[in-house]
Structure 1
Amino acid sequence: MVMKVTVSNHVDSSMWRLLRSEWFWFCSNPRCSIVYYNNDLGVYFLKDEVRTRVFHKESPGDRPVCYCLSVTESLIRDEIMVKKCCDSLEDIQRFTKAGTGRWCPITNPSGKCCREYLADLIHSILSERPGEPVERRLEELGRSFRLEIPSTPARGGAILLIEGMSCEGCAVAVRTALESLGIQVKGVDWKSGLAEILDMRGYNIEKIKETIEGIGYRVSRIVSG
């Protein structure tokens, strides 16, 4: 959860009227367009509505990392790959001061210190060095393989297995996308990755997959009723 003051620091002042709670949730899924949300209020702030570039939502390259001290990913990469003066979190903190700020709940869109993801970022960059262990990259590559299940014409209801959801905001996005097609949705559970459809008859499965992929997720399996 993030405080209201955190959200107000990163969204435009014209949207402050929507901040009717002291707490909101932050979505760190890079494929989800939602940054902040509060389901009780029905309030959702999308990436395009947030003034600050969000580390979790940006592509690797020159992402902001430490918001307190304006340290970017490219600066950290330069210290590791070009200057070759850093091999650890401690080195990066000493040379760039990343992760040593004190205003994270306000400056960082996630409301947390960048140390939460800084170590993983450093490890990822180090793994690109020639001769560095690649076990981590192999593990990530292995997770990217999924068994493809041929889709079949749906009759009655169905259960969709959807990859990529990591928060309630993701579930809301998936439900909204399905309902935009006129589909009756009983529920979407982001923890299990399941969406239950009440009636699939008359709907094109490929169109459903295309719609879900269009918002950054993937339908990996459809079990027809």
Structure 2
Amino acid sequence: MEQKQVYEQVGVAMTSRSYVEYEKMFMLQTSALIGKRVLDVAGGASSFTAEARQLGVYAEAVDPLYAKSPSAISAHGREEIELVAAKMSRLVDVYDWTFYGSVEQHRAGRIQALQRFVEDFSKTDGSARYHIAGLPSLPFETQSFDLVMCSHFLFLYEEQFDYAFHVEAIRELLRVCKPGGEVRIYPLMNFRTEEYSRLHELINEFELAGFTLQKREASLPFLPNSHQFLSIKKSPSA
């Protein structure tokens, strides 16, 4: 039996994704976000916050990475991009290249997003929207954000973070979410490209706590089984 090809990852990777990728991962409608406060958790060096701000969205990001200097993040980001490109070149047949086109185009997009992030992060008011912290403890007041997003962290690192961590982390995402707001998590799989093994249990636990959970279709068909995100809605009376 042929062994399944998987993406090898040690430790938590730093990523540089663009606004359009967030649109596809989380099925975002910019017009519905204008004037809203949005949080990107474990955002890495993604340009979502910088681009969203230009569109009139009050976006902020939080990540332990932001303790580093802009130059250190830039250097680290470049190293990560080259490492990812090298890994992907060995797994080309595993992925759906409909959106990215090729390994080289994927790499170029990452570099562009990294550059946009570093430019915004370097601004004198950057600390107002880039916060140094990581799950399961966020430095925000309860009920602060209309939409809270977390991509390529929860579920993906199933082998590194146990179920208790996932529950505690999601409780924290919900704590900082406003009543009537929503938490979105993408993708629902681990690095073996299999759905998070305790997703059903986790959904049941939060439904019993009074939240509305739903697997929803995403539109970034790149990784195998990456076609869904988890929506967790908070009651307006919460």
Fold-level similarity (TM above 0.5): no
Q: Tell me which of the two structures has the higher relative contact order, counting C-alpha pairs closer than 8 angstroms and 6 or more residues apart.
A: 2
Task: Please state which band the TM-score falls in when normalised by the shorter chain.
Answer: under 0.3
Structure 1 length-normalised TM:
0.27
Structure 2 length-normalised TM:
0.26
